[in-house]
Amino acid sequence: MSVSTAPANEQTPPVLRARWLMIGFAFLATVINYLDRQTLSVVAPLLTEEFRMSDETYGLILSAFMLAYTLMNGVSGPLVDRLGTRLGYGLCVAWWSTAAVLHGLARGPWSLGLFRFLLGMGEAGNWPAAVKVVAEWFPARERALASGIFNSGAAIGAVVAPPLVAALVLTIGWQAAFVLVGVTGYLWLAGWWWLYYTPAHVRQEVQAPPAAPWRLLRTRFLASLMLSKIFLDPVWYFYIFWFPKYLSTVHGMDTAGIGKTAWIPFVTADVGNLLGGWFTGLLMRRGLSVNAARKTMITVSALMMTAAIPAAFCANAAAAIALVSLATFGYTSYSANALAFPADVFPKNMVGSIWGLASLGSGLGGMLFMWLSGRVIDAFGYTPAFVGFGILPLLAAGIVLFVMGPLRPLAEFHAPRG
């Protein structure tokens, strides 16, 4: 049965000061998520030698994470909706923190791959749970900014992980580094369990049983969002996994040079998270509807990401970094608004399911386009890859603009059935 609730766009909920504390928890969880994820990247050279791993074996270990992450996107969102934000988010963080600690017990490629798979299972729950925090605590005009705040934790984690983990490895060894980084999740969990609660004005809506996943998948909104993420999110994966290697291969940077410059696009990504969300709220305060404001910012952000195309033809490394930084700014500005979509359309007891199911597209696109990236770069170099990742955001935005339909509450989920 559908839940009888007031449409999200018509609510005038009280503005609660505690909302910034709650989104702070989601931000910290996202930072920890990326620290746990990126630790292996820093430790990889040591483990490759110690475990006598080939590049192919290391690639398979990375694929184990991506496979688990993709599969669990479709499970974690509905699970968080069923269990509630406090318990569901807490279980996800506890799971991935335990998996991160277990990395310190790895004794070879098989055990490392297993622990990496377990990490991917847990980490998939972060974004559906954080989207649910936003839906419970923030009015429509603030959701994109709140989403940008928690999502900025990904870029900060990507910036902080290399120097932090390297220092830990040099001081206490790689095994203890995995353990210490993993333990930070338990510290987060203690504060979360003590302080988080569901606001009274949404408690009835949040606690109502969500619709079945297969019913949600039949909606044009969810199908369109999933399809758009197939083309959008691989852009981020490309910059995360390939940009440092590009600087080395194309511009001849050594490790020190990469360390001094490769973090810059992730700092601009943080700024994009915040400004993209803030500007959408400004458009709403100036009179634009939720639909018009979000899609305006989606369009502008996708156009920013086309900066990857001229970056492909830059002979100067500084110019290439500047253009890629504009593209990462556009990606996170886009994402801050897309993260707010579910609460614009569905009741708050279903937003975790919506984002988790939609993120199946992210995982499928990531696996497909990362494989294609390697094939294309091996055969033709980085130029066609950069051009392609400059075009993909336009496809994603086109789906949102012309296929998804308006961002407004779906009557079949908000209205009681007769």
The answer, yes or no, to whether residue 418 has pLDDT greater than 70, is no
The pTM for the full model equals: 0.85
What pLDDT is recorded for position 44? Answer: 80
Which stretches within 196-254 are classed as H helix?
203-207, 213-217, 220-251
The span from the CA of 217 to the CA of 389, in Å, is 27
What is the number of structural domains in the chain?
1
The pair of structure tokens assigned to 49 is 């030698």
- Domain, as residue range, for 339: 8-414
What pLDDT is recorded for position 117? Answer: 96
pLDDT, average across residues 181-205? 94
Query: Each residue of 278-314: pLDDT tens digit?
Result: 999 999 999 999 999 999 999 999 999 999 999 999 9
- Whether the CB-CB separation of 118 and 63 falls below 8 Å is answered with no
The answer to whether residue 313 is domain-embedded is yes
The answer, yes or no, to whether residue 130 has pLDDT greater than 60, is yes
What pLDDT is recorded for position 335? Answer: 96
- Whether the CB-CB separation of 339 and 147 falls below 8 Å is answered with yes
Please, which pLDDT band fits residue 416 given cuts at 50, 70 and 90? low
The pair of structure tokens assigned to 10 is 């018509």
The answer to whether residue 3 is domain-embedded is no
The answer to whether residue 1 is domain-embedded is no
Q: What is the CATH number of the domain that holds 127?
A: 1.20.1250.20
Give CA angle at 333 (64, 411), nearest 5°. Answer: 85
The answer, yes or no, to whether residue 155 has pLDDT greater than 90, is no
- Whether the CB-CB separation of 119 and 37 falls below 8 Å is answered with yes
The answer to whether residue 287 is domain-embedded is yes
The answer to whether residue 362 is domain-embedded is yes
The span from the CA of 271 to the CA of 152, in Å, is 8
CB neighbourhood size of 294 (10 A) = 25
The answer, yes or no, to whether residue 328 has pLDDT greater than 50, is yes
- Whether the CB-CB separation of 22 and 137 falls below 8 Å is answered with yes
pLDDT, average across residues 103-127? 95
The span from the CA of 54 to the CA of 198, in Å, is 48
CB neighbourhood size of 191 (10 A) = 13
Please, which pLDDT band fits residue 377 given cuts at 50, 70 and 90? confident
The answer to whether residue 2 is domain-embedded is no
